[in-house]
Chain A
Amino acid sequence: MEYAVVAEELRKTYWVAEKEPGLFGTLRHFVRRRYRRIEAVRGVSFALRPGEIVGFLGPNGAGKTTTLKMLTGLLYPSGGRAEVLGYRPQDRRPAFLRQITLVMGNKAQLLWDLPVLDTLRINAAVYEIPEAEYQKRVRRFASMLGIEGVLTQPVRKLSLGERMKAELMAALLHHPRVLFLDEPTLGLDVNAQAAVRDFVRQYARAEGATVLLTSHYMADIEALAERVIVIHEGRLLFDGGLKGLVERFAPYKEVRLDLEAPLAPGDLAPFGEVVELRGQSARLLVEKPRLTAVVARLLAEFPVRDLAVEEPPLEEVIGRVFREGRVA
């Protein structure tokens, strides 16, 4: 099999009911509904090789979750073709379902009032994992995630980070070959994020699993993925290496300044885009061709204590791409 995951001209269109605010709007809505067409995904194509870990980026509402749901068979595509491990996801064949998993950072599959182990036992039964193997996997995952101590506590007593780790355990217990992770680190603190990332990386390496991952935290993407796919308003913006993304969308360097005296907000505007200005320090983005000239002028015109030129953080690059809505 050449590709583990294939999306070809994938499309999804919904109809949603609209309602105006207020009592009158309510009554009208009750009698007669107006519908609006939403094109959530408008022809997205990409393919993932077995064992690849790919970041899937886009602002809220770009169609990331819809795409993931089509690839897991939860949603039927309105057009185009999806293929995962040689199956058509929307057929929802048991053999297919046994080999994939979907983790959603904002939704829980754990039984809220029971210890984690109970949900795991249900999943072991559903996926027909032999007892000895089940015990082995639970021990291994729990130690990888560092949550051995909390498996016997009711889920509702767990911290957000522990709960997410337990969700991952439940989602990976059947050793899926393809992982779809939708914001798996949502709302977690830095340590928990790092733990989740490490776990996903270790698992993927050990099992040779393919991973498609969305996240708002660029640190996740940078740590896990060498390749990123960017979509915006349902269309593919970029598909390629992380470095290529930066070069393509950010012909900028970031200049960090430390000054002897505070600056007025407008002072730096002529030199580039000011990202941050806090008292005596500032960060600004400067187009690469102008860089040398700008640095020289800055040094000449301001009482500079320190100056550094760096690659801009990925968040800003991506943010810039989306704001400008530039299509590749």
Chain B
Amino acid sequence: MLRKLLAFLSVYYAHMTVYRGEILFWLLTGLAPFFFMAIWVEAARQGLTDRDPLAFARYFFFVFVTRQLQVVWVTWTLSEEIRSGAFAFKLLQPLDPFWHYLAQHVAERGVRFPMIFLLLLVFLWLYPGALFWVGGGRLFLGLAASLLGFLLNFLVAYALGLLALWLEEATDLYNAWYVFFMLFSGYLAPLDLYPQAVRGVLDLTPFPYLAYLPAALWSGEPVPGVGRGFLVLLGWTLLAFLLARGLWRAGLRRFSAMGA
């Protein structure tokens, strides 16, 4: 198993370096937190909230980082492979294709993160003094939330991608999930600025723990209910896992009935 893992990661890492130009542009596509950073920093400067401008800068930078850890495209790959018929080859292997896709994503982070380092430099140049050491505990918790968030995103995207077996094209469905994420995760504004009533509902959804939780942890802001947050996130991840397994079984039946 270890050998399998290493072979997958090394080959897919090579694969991803071929797409480094693509990945760079994709990274740039995800710059929205920087633009919202610019808006909130300006607003804070004019005295809108009691957060100071640098706190906003810090928050949005970490929103960006955690988002980059959680980026997935497996819906797209599945749709593409199902339509082109390449999916059949994966089914002929004595290994669940899930591991192929997961390894691709993990390997891709190895290409993506060195690029993020460059953005870090730009950020430090724009907002000197925005970053400080928050302590190992928070760093670890934020990372754990990000990785769990990645897993949840991946499982949801995987489940939606399998729907391509019925719908031929499933990428728009993932866009729907992404819009929910964007609006309710703290991607556009720190969630503590949302009206209290809205937050009460959001706390039960997985979204606040995908961006707000890790970003707030990393930027050293007070975060009440961390333990509960992890539990909710874990619960949704488990649910997504079951959904993905169920759709995989049903999808195989479907595929073997219709071909593709």
Contact = CB atoms under 8 A, between A and B. Distances in A.
Interface of A: 14, 66, 69, 72-76, 90, 92, 94-95, 97-98, 100-102, 104, 107-109, 111, 113-114, 118-119, 121-128, 154
B95 A100 contact: no
A157 B93 CA distance: 26
Given A97-B92, A126-B95, A74 B11 contact: no
A189 B239 CA distance: 53
A113 B19 contact: yes
A16 to B, nearest CB: 9
Contacts of B89: 102, 107, 109
B255 A111 contact: no
B235 interface: no
A66 B19 contact: no
Interface string B218-260: 0000000000000000000000000000000000110111110
Given A74-B92, A98-B94, A125-B4, 20 more contacts: A14-B259, A69-B88, A73-B256, A74-B88, A74-B91, A74-B259, A76-B257, A90-B256, A100-B92, A102-B88, A107-B86, A109-B86, A113-B15, A113-B18, A114-B14, A118-B11, A118-B15, A121-B7, A121-B10, A127-B94
Contacts of A114: 11, 14-15, 18
Contacts, number: 80
The interface residues of chain B, by DSSP majority, are classed as helix
Interface in B135-185: none
Given A14-B258, A76-B253, A90-B256, A111 B15 contact: yes
Interface in B72-101: 84-86, 88-89, 91-95, 100
B19 A97 contact: no
B76 to A, nearest CB: 15
A306 B142 CA distance: 89
A122 B8 contact: yes
A125 B103 CA distance: 13
A90 B94 CA distance: 13
Nearest to A40: B259
A92 to B, nearest CB: 7
A73 B18 CA distance: 34
Contacts of B11: 111, 114, 118-119, 121-122
Interface of B: 3-4, 7-8, 10-11, 14-15, 18-19, 84-86, 88-89, 91-95, 100, 252-253, 255-259
A127 B19 CA distance: 27
Contacts of B257: 75-76
Contacts of B3: 125
Given A74-B88, A107-B89, A69 B94 contact: no
A82 B174 CA distance: 38
Contacts of B7: 121-122, 124-125
Contacts of A109: 86, 89
Which 3 interchain pairs have the tightest Cβ spacing?
Answer: A94-B94, A125-B7, A76-B256
Contacts of B91: 73-74, 92
A128 B256 contact: no
Given A126-B93, A126-B94, A128-B4, A74 B256 contact: yes
Contacts of B259: 14, 66, 69, 74-75
A107 B4 contact: no
B257 to A, nearest CB: 6
B92 A101 contact: yes
Most buried by A among B3, B88, B255: B88
Contacts of A73: 91-92, 256
Contacts of A100: 92
Contacts of B15: 111, 113-114, 118
A299 B195 CA distance: 102
Q: Which residue, of A69, A118, A125, has the highest number of chain B Cβ atoms within 10 A?
A: A125
A98 B18 CA distance: 30
B98 to A, nearest CB: 13
Contacts of A74: 88, 91-92, 255-256, 259
A102 B92 contact: yes
B256 A108 contact: no
Contacts of A124: 7
Contacts of A107: 84-86, 88-89
Given A107-B84, A118-B14, A97 B93 contact: yes
Nearest to A70: B256
B94 A97 contact: yes
B237 to A, nearest CB: 27
B92 A72 contact: yes
Contacts of A119: 11
A86 B218 CA distance: 58
Contacts of B252: 92
Nearest to A154: B18
Contacts of B95: 94, 126
Nearest to B259: A75
A128 B3 CA distance: 9
